[in-house]
Structure 1
Amino acid sequence: MDTDSYLLEVRDVVAETADASSIVFDVPVDVAGAFASTPGQFLTLAVPSARTGLVARCYSISTPPGEPLTVTVKRTPDGYASNWLNDNLRPGDTVRVLPPSGIFSPKDWSADLLLFAGGSGITPIMSIVRTALAEHSARVVLFYANRDETSVIFASALAELAAAHPDRLQVIHWLESVQGLPSEAQLGGFAAAYSTWTSFCCGPAPFMKAVSTALRALDFPRERRHQEKFVSLGGNPFGDVEEVLAAQATLASVDDADEAEDAAPVGPSGPVKVEIELDGEEHVFDDWQPGTKLLEFLESKGIKAPYSCREGECSACAVRLISGEVRMLHNDVLEQEDLDEGLRLGCQSVPATEDPVKVSYR
């Protein structure tokens, strides 16, 4: 499997708080194009594991395009990868990385931005804030919730940005230690003054749910409500890289239980015609086989479609279904509103009927 992963050298590790660090990578000139990103995207890192060779985890890029590629990692209770990265990485180390992925990025930078961040959810939001202020003219309001003052990531950087752009950036800090957890009513009361702005939200699941409920109650349309959701990846998107091969050799005598097979798939009896819009180009094929995932089919045609986890656990491969029907074998990230909008996961979508299918990568 060609996953286009790269070994990047760690340039620096910066302690942001007692339990969060920013990891700065050096990107060689010859692969710089692969690591061009848009604000709000994430990297998938291969974290060493004694048993499996590696575990894959997604971490948001905290710097805007044009600055050193950086992800910020906060420790999570009992989180193997986040604790390993904070405890072990040093300048000069190398990490296997997949290129930037994700769709949590403004499409219209002229729109005023209402941003919500909870804890380490500030990471992609920070990239968006800095890009908006440096390259565009829209106003930005950030509601940033944390446990207490010591847990505020980027506190100094945000204060400096607010001081440099007093007419464009407003940062509202909410501390659980002082005010308790923000309620839906409080979030709604705050957001009511910005009902025509475009919102982006990232943070713990209860926080994002409260924000989403509050914005829906204010009749924010779906196209102006964006959320970033991460699930710990269970699979290996890196393929048979050296770390995995070494672990497989070590564990050759260990038997792993097979997962129960799914019921016989329901779908077309023969190949289906599919039309794909990707990076401004249109591709048409008439031999998409039943049971073959869209991502795998495109890869067999030599088309580099976006993906990260390959397991239906992130949104990097999301497509918009324009016509026809597909069935997703697994989905841990798209909510009903996303499905109603036509979003599907390319890594998990197979033809559902014999009707032609048309999809567009956003």
Structure 2
Amino acid sequence: MARTPLFQRATVTRIIKETADARTFVLAPHEGAVSYVAGQFCTFRVRVDDVELFRSYSMSSAPETDAELMTTVKRVVGGRVSNWLIDNLSEGDVIEMSRPAGKFCLRESERPLLGFSGGSGITPVLSLAKSALATTDRRVRLLCVDRDRASAIFDATLEELVARYPTRLEVLRHLDADSGLLDPAAVRAFVADDGAADSYICGPEAFMAMVEEALPGPGAIFSERFGAAEPVVAVAEPEPTATPEPAATAGTVTVILGRKKVTVPRNAGETLLESARRGGLTPPFSCESGNCATCMAVLTQGSATMRVNDALTDDEVAEGYVLTCQAIPDTAETTVRYE
């Protein structure tokens, strides 16, 4: 079955300055229109200081309402890719992007939709809101949290949507500079009588965790995560001990990347991505949480079980594709090929 390559080239046709540190890039993929669903993202491959880097950014467009493909990037302090994109990309430049992925998408429902966004987390939430308003009769209510008025992304876009759907769309802006940090009581006050609504959440990890805990239920909760770092917890330092090597398991793992092919002994509990690295290869990856599909590859021998899969479709899994950051071999002899 013919399949779209993971990465393709796209021309930046327009750049929209959303705020001082956020840009929307309007993209024209070279291989024609991209099929995607509201709420999904693309992973971008860029070279910064001779190092190949991958980062995932959500679409701010929705296929039902926008003729152009748009992704929005907010500058992150110390973020090598976000800073490079904002400082270096110009209209007419060409960039490499993956096919759309992700499962932070609308579920069929007649219940109201509540969107909770922190900072640039408004990007996929806006896409979902556009889609829901254009294709359903659902009420949509958004709680958008920003540092201050100057950092509020899509202000004009949301005002236009409210004017178009005055009886179905409500947008509440919470500015930390004016009201302090959002707290659980404010979340519950916003929800009010819509406890049975579907809630979609995107933003910094601490923000999402707080909203998830505060939601009164019984509505469904959907959150978008690109792989947040584990919190640092202070613990008593144990006596130094030798670190055991991973337990070897009978069999081997063979990884093919371009013209390179390596075979390493199979280690218990080790992912295919970890095996590839152990063999000296540098395969593509980004989130390492099973969300972005940057590390996907196809099994040509054996089988593997993915701990998490929030990126591949059922058809792709049936064809043998796996997320190598999540796939652990089930068979003694396993071969995987990166495309």
Q: Which of 55, 58, 77 is 2:56 aligned to?
A: 58
Q: Specify the SS of the correspondent of 2:193.
A: helix
Equivalent position of 1:7 in the other structure = 9
Q: Specify the SS of the correspondent of 2:167.
A: coil
> CA offset at residue 309 of structure 1?
3.5
Equivalent position of 2:144 in the other structure = 144
- Name the CA distance, whole Å, in 1 between partners of 2:287 and 2:157: 36
- Name the CA distance, whole Å, in 2 between partners of 1:8 and 1:232: 28
Query: How many positions carry a matched residue from both structures?
Result: 271
After superposition, the Cα gap between the structure-2 partners of 1:332 and 1:326, relative to the gap in structure 1 and judged at 3 Å, is closer
**Letter of the 2:189 counterpart:** G
> CA offset at residue 46 of structure 1?
1.2
Q: Does 1:226 align with 2:231?
A: no
Aligned 8 A contact 2:42 2:57 in 1? yes
Equivalent position of 1:38 in the other structure = 37
> CA offset at residue 38 of structure 1?
0.4
Aligned 8 A contact 1:16 1:22 in 2? yes
Equivalent position of 1:47 in the other structure = 46
**Letter of the 2:60 counterpart:** S
- Name the CA distance, whole Å, in 2 between partners of 1:166 and 1:115: 17
- Name the CA distance, whole Å, in 2 between partners of 1:332 and 1:346: 7
TM (norm. structure 1) is 0.67
- Name the CA distance, whole Å, in 1 between partners of 2:43 and 2:310: 16
Give CA deviations for 1:135-157 in whole Å, capped at 9, x if unaligned: 22111000000011111100011
> CA offset at residue 186 of structure 1?
1.9
**Letter of the 1:229 counterpart:** R
Equivalent position of 1:24 in the other structure = 26
After superposition, the Cα gap between the structure-2 partners of 1:137 and 1:261, relative to the gap in structure 1 and judged at 3 Å, is farther
Aligned 8 A contact 1:265 1:291 in 2? no
Give CA deviations for 1:175-225 in whole Å, capped at 9, x if unaligned: 00110001122212322421111010001111101101112xx2335xx10
TM (norm. structure 2) is 0.71
After superposition, the Cα gap between the structure-2 partners of 1:182 and 1:310, relative to the gap in structure 1 and judged at 3 Å, is closer
- Name the CA distance, whole Å, in 2 between partners of 1:64 and 1:83: 25
Aligned 8 A contact 1:122 1:144 in 2? yes
**Letter of the 1:349 counterpart:** A
Equivalent position of 1:350 in the other structure = 328
After superposition, the Cα gap between the structure-2 partners of 1:353 and 1:92, relative to the gap in structure 1 and judged at 3 Å, is closer
- Name the CA distance, whole Å, in 2 between partners of 1:326 and 1:189: 42
Q: Which of 263, 282, 302 is 2:246 aligned to?
A: 263
> CA offset at residue 77 of structure 1?
0.9
Q: Specify the SS of the correspondent of 1:100.
A: coil
Give CA deviations for 1:29-49 in whole Å, capped at 9, x if unaligned: x443xx211000001011221
After superposition, the Cα gap between the structure-2 partners of 1:137 and 1:57, relative to the gap in structure 1 and judged at 3 Å, is same
Gaps of 5+ in 2: 230-242, 253-267, 274-283, 294-303, 312-321, 333-339
> CA offset at residue 230 of structure 1?
1.6
Q: Please, what is the CA RMSD of the aligned residues? A: 3.4
The runs of 4+ residues in structure 1 deviating greater than 3 Å are 290-295, 308-311, 325-328, 331-334, 351-354
> CA offset at residue 292 of structure 1?
9.0
Tell me which protein shows more helix as a share of its residues. 1
Aligned 8 A contact 1:229 1:333 in 2? no
Equivalent position of 2:83 in the other structure = 83
Aligned 8 A contact 2:205 2:228 in 1? no
Identity %: 34
Equivalent position of 2:288 in the other structure = 312
After superposition, the Cα gap between the structure-2 partners of 1:262 and 1:111, relative to the gap in structure 1 and judged at 3 Å, is farther
> CA offset at residue 78 of structure 1?
1.2
